[in-house]
Structure 1
């Protein structure tokens, strides 16, 4: 008998079939690692919603938000969905962004795309108006800079300044011959498509389906589901 809490993997949702397929693949990989049934649910755009799945899932419940910062969905939307579903008892883990496996994945993606030591690096984030989430994105940029041994600028695709395109242009004006964009996005979609038009020499692929992402989700789940030694 399975005594561990059920696992809901909460993703944003996209109208791009490829992005949805990647989300399903991530859920399958997490289930393989944790050996627990993993229920995929969407915070926005698609169904079933996190609230739908939580209401239909009996017993203890852990929700892992596959988000790169703790913005609106993590801080407000998901707790509200769980409360409306009568599952305020569910454990909502931290977002994935601080997990070192994501920095590792960003380095691998950047290298695979053709990054060379000496390239100027821009971390491309979707963007947020939440100051706390923005601080988390800057923390991610500093972690990537430490790994690469070079400055990394946090820039935005949809919300916030500097935009990725403006930052690439600024680095060119400063004399950088090559500029590389590290993608701080989980899956392909409209936001990642925009990066191809930003004028960089290298554009890394989104973080998924790098295997490190599934391991980060699994670790978030285990820390919430299994009592940790004091």
Structure 2
């Protein structure tokens, strides 16, 4: 029996983001690899959704590591210890295909060789997610052959604004922002207000996002069957 795939994230305060996440869930469903349900709301919504699923279940976070504090807190509060047939995967992180898609987004946005680059993340207190962010910055730096500075929207330092200004003080006239975000939402709107040369679009609707989410589900399915 193929486990149900539950895409989960917090979108309770952002209707535009919720719509984008539903579009992502529809795209995953159309692949036909597994039964797909979603929970894009509060902690109570997530618990209710989990309880409604009979049989094996894989909860797949629908956000990028370090990109969404609210969703990280939501998933951290989910207790599946009472379910021998259920597990949660890690959020998408330093996956070569995902970072490659981000590099292509930079080129599409107007990045040119030699431009300064800021990786814009929401911020996180989770050490694993912070490690993923550091790895993403290193991988992106190798892709663009230029140093990549991490900046944060709502936690830790430097802020995205400070990171952009720091590169400008170092002589970078052109600074591009690589948005470490899965879908369009309020956070991306704040990035567009920056004094940056260019800001990338969120990673979805790149097909690699669906590919990677399904790959996580397949890996978790194998673990549950072991």
TM over 0.5: yes
Equivalent residue, structure 2, for 1:33 = 31
Question: Against the structure 1 CA distance between its residues 76 and 170, is the aligned structure 2 distance closer, same or farther, given a 3 Å change threshold?
Answer: closer
Q: Identify which range, 207-216 or 10-19, moves more after superposition.
A: 10-19
Distance, in Å, in 2 between the alignment partners of 1:17 and 1:73 is 15
Equivalent residue, structure 1, for 2:159 = 163
Work out whether residues 21 and 40 of structure 2, in 8 Å CA contact, stay in contact via their aligned partners in 1.
Answer: no
- Secondary structure at 1:104's aligned position in 2? helix
Within a 5 Å distance, the mapping from 1:11-26 to structure 2 comes to: 11-26=9-24
Q: Identify which range, 71-80 or 4-13, moves more after superposition.
A: 71-80
| Residue 208 of structure 2, aligned match among 173, 188, 212 | 212
| Residue 97 of structure 1, aligned match among 83, 93, 97 | 93
Within a 5 Å distance, the mapping from 1:79-98 to structure 2 comes to: 80-83=77-80, 87=83, 89-98=85-94
Question: Against the structure 1 CA distance between its residues 110 and 72, is the aligned structure 2 distance closer, same or farther, given a 3 Å change threshold?
Answer: closer
Deviations 1:93-138 (CA, angstroms, capped at 9, x unpaired): 1211122232122112212111111111000001113333222211
What is the TM-score when the length of structure 1 is the normalising length? 0.87
Deviations 1:153-189 (CA, angstroms, capped at 9, x unpaired): 1110111101110111111111111000000011222
1:61 aligns with 2:48: no
Deviations 1:164-220 (CA, angstroms, capped at 9, x unpaired): 101111111111110000000112222111112321111111111221111110100
1:79 deviation in Å? 5.4
Equivalent residue, structure 2, for 1:7 = 5
CA RMSD of aligned residues (A): 2.6
What is the TM-score when the length of structure 2 is the normalising length? 0.88
Q: Identify which range, 119-128 or 27-36, moves more after superposition.
A: 27-36
Work out whether residues 105 and 213 of structure 1, in 8 Å CA contact, stay in contact via their aligned partners in 2.
Answer: no
- Secondary structure at 1:97's aligned position in 2? coil
> What stretches of structure 1 of length at least 5 have no aligned partner?
none
Within a 5 Å distance, the mapping from 1:116-131 to structure 2 comes to: 116-131=112-127
Distance, in Å, in 1 between the alignment partners of 2:159 and 2:96 is 25
Distance, in Å, in 2 between the alignment partners of 1:131 and 1:119 is 29
Distance, in Å, in 2 between the alignment partners of 1:87 and 1:76 is 20
Within a 5 Å distance, the mapping from 1:183-222 to structure 2 comes to: 183-222=179-218
Equivalent residue, structure 2, for 1:52 = 48
Distance, in Å, in 1 between the alignment partners of 2:198 and 2:155 is 22
Distance, in Å, in 1 between the alignment partners of 2:129 and 2:60 is 17
Q: Identify which range, 36-45 or 56-65, moves more after superposition.
A: 36-45
1:78 aligns with 2:75: yes
